[in-house]
Each structure stands twice: as C-alpha cells, then as structure tokens.
C-alpha cells in the first residue's frame, strides 16, 4: 500500500500538471459545496492552482485518504485543509507563502 506522503505528493503533482479527472473532481466538490456550472468552475479554478484551490484539493485528497475536511485558517486567511487524526494534510498552503506540501501536526500558522 502507498504511504500517505506518496499519495499526497502524487496528488499535488497531478494538480500542478492539470492531470486531475475533471468529472471526478466536479462530483466531489459539488457534494461539498454546490456551485452552478461545476465543470466550468473546476476548469477555471485549476488554471489558478494553487491559488483559490484549497477546497478542490482537499475534497480530492479526502477521496484518496479519508479524514475530515476543515474550514479553518492559514495565518488570518480562510483556508480549507484535511485532518487525518491529529495530522494536517495540505497541498495549497504555498498560495500564502507556506509549504508546497505539508503533512504534520495542527500548529500555527494553521488553525481550526
């Protein structure tokens, strides 16, 4: 079985390379946060990755890893990330100057 870091790194690379299944991502995100014209929303959002993609990336990661989606903050900015037990999994903190990938404890600058 793949370890968490391998799955997270592969997922981040898929987002970076725009190699994410749009239909799957649209279905997952629509269940999390319904928006009109979901396929167009996802296509436009992916053009800006990682900016404004924390929710999309997190629902996709949750489909692979399980866990709980947290609508929290990074510094003082609203931010969505995944909690696996007592660990954060975040592949979009770099939009705020944070790490490209973070798997670790819930600590500043993240908060619930």
The span from the CA of 34 to the CA of 54, in Å, is 15
The span from the CA of 13 to the CA of 60, in Å, is 13
Burial class of residue 25 in the structure, from the number of CB atoms within 10 Å of its CB (0-12 exposed, 13-18 middle, 19+ buried): buried
37: Cβ contacts below 8 Å, ≥ 6 apart: none
**Res. 62 pLDDT band, cuts 50 70 90:** very high
CB 42 within 8 A of CB 25: yes
Report pLDDT for 107: 97
pTM for the whole structure: 0.94
**Res. 2 pLDDT band, cuts 50 70 90:** low
Q: Where are the domains of the chain?
A: 4-111
The span from the CA of 79 to the CA of 8, in Å, is 18
The 10s digit of each residue's pLDDT in 6-46 is 999 999 999 999 999 999 999 999 999 999 999 999 999 99
């Amino acid at each position: 079985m793949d370890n968490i870091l391998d799955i997270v790194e592969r997922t981040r690379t898929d987002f970076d390379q725009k190699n994410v299944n749009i239909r799957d991502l649209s279905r997952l995100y629509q269940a999390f946060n319904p928006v009109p014209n979901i396929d167009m929303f996802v296509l436009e959002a992916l053009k800006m990755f990682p900016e404004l993609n924390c929710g999309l990336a997190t629902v996709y990661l949750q489909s692979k890893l399980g866990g709980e989606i947290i609508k929290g903050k990074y510094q003082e900015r609203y931010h969505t990330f995944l909690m696996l037990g007592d660990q954060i999994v975040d592949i979009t903190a770099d939009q705020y100057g944070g790490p490209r990938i973070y798997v670790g404890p819930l600590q500043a600058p993240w908060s619930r």
